[in-house]
Chains A and B, each alone.
Chain A
Amino acid sequence: MAAKKTTTKKRPEYTLMDKHTKAIVFGYQQRAIQRMLDFDYICRREEPSVVAIVNPTREGTHKCFWGTKEILLPMYRTLAEATKHHKEADFMVNFASFRSAYPTTKEALETNTIRTVAVIAEGVPEHRTKELIRIANNKNKWIIGPATVGGIAAGGFRIGNTAGQLDNIVASKLHRQGSVAYVSKSGGLSNELNNIIAMNTDGVYEGVAIGGDAYPGSTFIQHMMRYEKNPDVKMMVLLGEVGGTDEYEVVEAIKKKKITKPVVAWCIGTCSKVFPAEVQFGHAGARAGADRETADAKNKALKEAGAAIPKSFDDFDEQIKKTFDKLVKSGKHKPIPDVEPPIIPVDYAVALKQGMIRRPTQFNSSISDDRGEELRYCGIPISKIFEDDYGLGGVIGLLWFKKKLPKWATKFIEMVVLVTADHGPAVSGAHNSIVAARAGKDIISSLVSGLLTIGPRFGGAVQGSADHFTKFLYAGEKPAFMVKDMKNKNINIQGIGHRIKSVTNPDVRVEIMKNYALKHFPNTETLDYALAVEKLTTSKRNNLILNVDGCIGVLCCDMLRGIGYTREQVREFVDLGILNAFFVLGRSIGFMGHIMDQKRLNERLYRHPWDDILYLMPDKPEVVK
């Protein structure tokens, strides 16, 4: 949505926020922004109240809802840019942290366009707030907060998260203007005030929570003087607090008739007198030093000045009602009628939670779950994985097979990883990784460059042997048939044959794996079959032995059988490439070793020597006619 450059008509001095207010939100508070826009929507505002977002880490746009439609809000990295493009914004809702609340608020106060800054952060150093107050006073600007939820102009503008959920807002009639304005120290109680005022009068006109700090950016009296000047405000409610003396400014103003509209007031913390020693209440400012700062003293002074004061908070509602009814009875005020709010669109997440809607999922996952308190692999919390010493094999069991594997199987998986981890720098995968690493590529690119060579010719024998042997074994064919059939088809049996090793010079890796399986596996049918085949092939040539790839291939199939899979299921695993998975897993260790080795050796770009290449270029191309 393009930024509207319309200038809103000049508002009276006493209005800080209304249904024309345009705000910049500092800080990427997506939910608060949506809440502001939702409030706009139920107030039937013509245009969104948020015109731009300042997000120091990203610029661009932010997508959010405007009713049921989606709109884009511009997002800038700096406030300077946001204000340059959005001169119509005279309000900033500052969600900066306690660390950056000071510089960002200062910057906002020093702009030509922003008049009011609501500072949400709690924990802004007092001397910094005092500096901000000074700047605001000099420039005739306003600060609401720090340490506040903000405030609300009923039917017009909501600061951030003020007034809670939409259903509460509607229940408190905040979607349309009433005639009672309040100012409170506590933001947490503002919902309660909205509720009390809605139930006992024609509703809230505006409410501000000035925040719990010792030096709030604006004080009770400043807001009450605005309310006094505003003809739409018919009465005021003040909710003060133990600690500080700011309430006495209101006392003085009432006495001097600077405030003439009815005021209902109450200072909370009357219980402080029953506490033996200093008990810190929630707010930084809530601590009675001198007698004057006690809630009792303030309530008394307010009462003497002429404000309506309840006996306790318990009849605060009655006092408000009484005061309002008197206004109406005297004919000075005609209650503002209720307005039906538009239907509030329900957020998908909320509706889902309440069981109101459903939607088919587009993704299934059955091995792990990262939601909830702890990550789980196939139902096992990660802490348990370590407690019970699952190890690498155990975790592979959970994530690849969704099984808690017995020790013989997890140990075998780990053996496979160890045995396949590396085969020196000369094999094609390692070589590729090294060449890529030496070309200055990153570790992932170099690794992938090596992995991409794995296939029918390199490393693929693991997969191939599993495929070949199970195919004949499961079909019920004799080993002799397999040898003959493959010969007839002119296909080498994968996993058979070695360049150097032979019957008389066996491969130690094969011996280890084989012996382990024979000792520990419940079933070695594929190995037995392969060994029977080996017997036939080695009778033809000494080096046509079951090699390490073949051994791993067939043993993996036996392991799968041993952990409870049927032959059909084993074939499924073979077809989906599980043997390659084992090989890739193991060999990645070696590839990454080679890559880091090359980088640490500071090897330069590899260029294959000319004299190692037979150049066969013809003198001229064959001409195609």
Chain B
Amino acid sequence: MAQRGIREYDGKKMLAKNWSDYFSTDFKYPGKIVLVDPTTKLDDLPKKYPWLNKEKLVVKPDQLFGKRGKHGLIKANATFPEAKNWIKERMNKETTVGKVTDKLTHFLIEPYVTHDKEFYVAIKSNRQGDTIYVSNHGGVEIESVWDTVAEIQIPVDQDIDKITIEKHLPKDTPKDKQKMFASFIKGLFKFYKDLGYAYLEINPFVVSGNNIVPLDLVARLDDTAHFESGTKWGDISFPAPFGRKLSKEEQYIKMMDEKSGASLKLTVLNSKGRVWTMVAGGGGSVIYTDTIVDLGYREELANYGEYSGNPSTDETYEYARTVLDLMTREKDPKGRPKFLLIGGGIANFTDVAKTFTGITMALRDYKKKLKDTNVKIFVRRGGPNYQEGLRIMRELGKELGIPIEVYGPETHMTRIVNMALEGN
């Protein structure tokens, strides 16, 4: 729950849908735009969107990454058949953008707008309010022309209608555009605020006759504003960032997480790593992972994993099985032991013994594999009924014949990292 990126398509669609509520009737945004995903039947599109066959088009991927032009991922001034082929050639193909590689799955198609001048506007949330950035030199990386950008800070309780935006526009704003820009910016600001945006950047937008057309749009919504602004958002999704391809196991945990009221997170960083974590609590899990990295075992760190918010026994069982399965698939090639850190801070009101039930069930299931792959287990936890929880773990170690070292709150939270990795 936080500020989350949305597709360019959704941002533009939202703008078109709510246009008349926020913008003067003097100018328009036609909002002609189509999103193509792997299930889209490209040949059927012109029936629904006749303009596809009538106008020249622009096509580009819509997966929350920028600099598409630089990576040769924009096809401009294309006919529909050309656009179609261009998409077909790229759909579901692995593509590298910067340092990340992922499949291209979403593309947007828009009319190609001929224009001579490109403008820049962005609005960004900050603690005191929001800042509007405007420049008459859009279409480029804005940092490279930062001295042309005018900043307008709008305090939280400021009514934007009481501000003469014209006065704050960059000095080089064309005279004939000042009124239009001021009106557009006011409208955009109200749209941004009303719909719970945290960040909205249009770089560039162009003026074409009576139309203002955003060519490229990047936006983050505050997803907690859903209950206030959801109807204005329409049916939108918050896609995972490009490059966050999930493995089968990660996908499985993500699915459980979405269904559950509890929180279950798993990221596999290096399945050959020897150090696996299964930590209760969001903060605690970060700290364990930090400590492994900070102690110099970055190469050995296998995963980031967290469970919290009182998951059911079934959920912790499934979660633990998933982690145990991953970590016991193969032996360390050098025959060294692997480590499982079942860590956590001091719980507030969660019954520690109860949360261990699912984990102990999974450990029993994997008894043989744990032995075969030479796994050593370290436990550290505090909170309600922790003595019983630790006792269960200790007994389990004896029962399974697997080394399980068990510690309570009297031992510093991350000391088991040290014990496991440094043998201290």
Give the interface of A toward B (CB within 8 A): 98-99, 122-127, 130-131, 133-134, 149, 161, 163-165, 168, 171, 186, 188-189, 191-192, 194-196, 199, 214-215, 241-242, 268-271, 273-287, 295, 311-314, 316-317
Contacts and interface: CB of A to CB of B under 8 A. Distances in A.
B281 A188 contact: yes
A192 B263 contact: no
Contact of B241 (A278, A285, A286): A278
Given A125-B196, A191-B383, 8 more contacts: A125-B225, A126-B225, A168-B382, A168-B409, A268-B290, A271-B292, A312-B294, A316-B412
Contacts of B47: none
Interface in B305-348: 306, 308, 345-348
Contact of A131 (B100, B156, B384, B410): B156
B345 A124 contact: no
Contact of A314 (B99, B295, B345): B295
B63 to A, nearest CB: 12
A516 B232 CA distance: 66
Nearest to B245: A277
B413 interface: yes
Contacts of A161: 348-349
A317 B415 CA distance: 10
B349 A287 contact: no
Contacts of B128: 130
A283 B348 contact: no
Given A124-B224, A191-B383, A282-B306, A277 B412 contact: no
B2 A285 contact: yes
29 contacts: A125-B225, A126-B3, A126-B225, A131-B157, A134-B157, A164-B347, A165-B383, A188-B282, A188-B308, A188-B345, A189-B345, A191-B348, A191-B382, A192-B413, A196-B412, A214-B3, A271-B292, A274-B269, A274-B293, A276-B243, A277-B244, A279-B244, A282-B282, A282-B283, A282-B285, A282-B308, A283-B283, A313-B290, A313-B414
Interface string B407-424: 001101111011000000
B75 interface: no
A122 B1 contact: yes
Given A123-B224, A276-B243, A281-B286, A313 B349 contact: no
B224 A314 contact: no
A281 B301 CA distance: 17
A314 B291 contact: yes
A275 B269 contact: yes
Contacts of B383: 164-165, 168, 191
A271 B286 contact: yes
A127 B243 contact: no
Nearest to B346: A191
A283 to B, nearest CB: 7
B127 A186 contact: no
A572 B387 CA distance: 52
Select the residue from A127, A287, A295 with max chain B CB neighbours within 10 A: A127
A314 B225 contact: no
Contacts of A191: 345-348, 382-383
A329 B162 CA distance: 60
A569 to B, nearest CB: 42
Contacts, number: 176
B155 interface: yes
Contacts of B132: none
Question: Which applies to chain B's interface (DSSP): helix, strand, loop or mixed?
Answer: mixed
Contact of B287 (A98, A189, A283): A189
Contacts of B155: 134
B156 to A, nearest CB: 4
B230 to A, nearest CB: 11
Given A191-B348, A271-B292, A313-B413, A278 B244 contact: yes
Contacts of A134: 155-157
Select the residue from B228, B241, B348 with max chain A CB neighbours within 10 A: B348
A98 to B, nearest CB: 7
A186 B282 contact: yes
Select the residue from A122, A280, A283, A312 with max chain B CB neighbours within 10 A: A312
Contacts of B127: 130, 133, 215
A123 B418 CA distance: 36
Contacts of B293: 270-271, 273-274
B269 A282 contact: no
Given A130-B127, A195-B346, A281 B100 contact: no
A126 B222 contact: yes
Contact of A192 (B129, B267, B284): B284
A168 B308 CA distance: 19
B27 interface: no
Contacts of A269: 286, 290
Nearest to A270: B290
Interface string B57-85: 00000000000000000000000000000
A199 B267 CA distance: 33
A284 B198 CA distance: 12
A168 B295 CA distance: 29
B298 interface: yes
B366 interface: no
Select the residue from B3, B267, B281, B290 with max chain A CB neighbours within 10 A: B290
Contacts of B409: 168, 171, 195
A300 B169 CA distance: 38
B181 interface: no
B280 to A, nearest CB: 9
A168 B244 contact: no
Given A171-B409, A312-B294, A282 B263 contact: yes
Contact of B286 (A282, A284, A285, A317): A282
B156 A314 contact: no
A199 B349 CA distance: 21
Contacts of A186: 282-283
Contacts of A195: 346, 382, 409
Contacts of B267: 275, 279
A463 B1 CA distance: 65
Contact of B222 (A127, A165, A311): A127
Contact of A125 (B224, B283, B349): B224
A242 B289 CA distance: 13
Nearest to B295: A312
A168 B269 CA distance: 35
B304 A314 contact: no
A316 to B, nearest CB: 8
Contacts of A281: 282, 286
Contacts of A194: 346
Contacts of A313: 287, 290-291, 294, 413-414
Contacts of A214: 2-3, 198
Contacts of A284: 1-3, 224
B290 A312 contact: yes
B263 A314 contact: no
Contact of B2 (A127, A149, A280): A280
B417 to A, nearest CB: 6
B125 interface: yes
A487 B285 CA distance: 88
Contacts of A199: 410
B193 interface: yes
Contacts of B157: 131, 134
Select the residue from B1, B125, B224, B415 with max chain A CB neighbours within 10 A: B224
B242 interface: yes
Contacts of B345: 188-189, 191-192
Nearest to B292: A271
B283 A277 contact: no
Contacts of B3: 126, 214, 284
Contacts of B283: 186, 188-189, 268, 282-283
Contacts of A171: 409
Nearest to A186: B283
Nearest to A296: B294
A91 to B, nearest CB: 21
Contacts of B227: 98-99
A402 to B, nearest CB: 30
